[in-house]
Amino acid sequence: MYWSNKLTKPTREQAEEAVRTLIKWAGDNPAREGLKDTPKRVVKSYEEFFDGYSSDPEEILQRTFSETEGYDEMVVLRDIRLESHCEHHMLPIIGRAHIAYIPMKRVVGISKLARVVDIYAKRMQIQEKLTAQIANSINKTLQPKGVAVVIEATHQCMSTRGVHKSGAIMQTSHMIGAFREDKRTRQEFMDLITSASRGGGDI
């Protein structure tokens, strides 16, 4: 983040100029009609792709509910659409995330869990770090008995360039507490999300 690294944010004009340079580098003329407004559009897309730098996931997870009638079973949110960009090529990572936690005393609104996925995804990422960040922030703020996060995604830097292996799905998981220590708990979660993928839904 700019503020944490003490970096100065470039101006919009500087960002657009950088895109013009890349167009020239690719071999085209940024002044021709079809490309004239492209730098503007690219910079605007970047604002959307990397929107996650301006939000704090832990702040969002602070809003919890404690009136749970003693509910202490697994809460699972599966098939959360995931759109991110790899930090090595800045190309899309598209997939889905599955999150589970076992509450201790507090629960959080499910939309907040999806929002946390978005905030971390809308930064430059590697899938391993993204998975751990989501799990760790839930663990830190909710202090549940356990947290599990599984991400399945395809990486365009692998399908459209380099080794050109389309269709390869990368799966990562991060287990904390009960999910790490208790094999049956972990299995229950994995069974739930596997039966979900058998039922369809695309990546």
The yes or no reply on residue 88 touching Zn ion (CB under 5 A) is yes
Measure the CA angle with vertex 83, ends 43 and 63; round to 5°: 100
Structural contact between residues 174 and 137, judged by C-beta atoms closer than 8 angstroms: no
* The one catalytic residue among 13, 58, 87, 181: 87
Q: What number of chain residues touch Zn ion (CB under 5 A)?
A: 4
86 binds Zn ion (CB under 5 A): yes
Name the catalytic one among 143, 156, 157, 188: 157
Strand order in the sheet with 146-155: 124-125, 75-86, 92-102, 146-155, 170-177
Catalytic residue among 16, 98, 133, 155: 155
Annotated active-site residue in 86, 98, 125, 133: 86
89 catalytic, yes or no? yes
The smaller minimum CB distance to Zn ion, of residues 10 and 162, is found at: 162
Structure tokens at 18: 């950088």
Q: Check if 155 is active-site.
A: yes
Establish if 170 lies at the interface with Zn ion (CB under 5 A).
no
Catalytic (active site) residue 87: yes
Which residues in 38-77 contact Zn ion (CB under 5 A)?
none
Q: Which amino acid is at 1?
A: M
* The token pair that represents 143 in the structure block: 């202090």
As a whole number of Å, the CA-based R_g of the chain is 20
Instruction: Report the SS3 class of residue 93.
Output: strand
Catalytic residue list contains 188:
no
Please state, in angstroms and rounded to a whole number, the distance separating the CA atoms of residues 174 and 132. 6
Task: Identify which of residues 86 and 178 has a Cβ nearer to Zn ion in the complex.
Answer: 86
Closest residue to Zn ion, based on beta-carbon distance: 157
Residues involved in catalysis: 86-89, 127, 155, 157
> Where do contacts with Zn ion occur on this chain (CB under 5 A)?
86, 88-89, 157
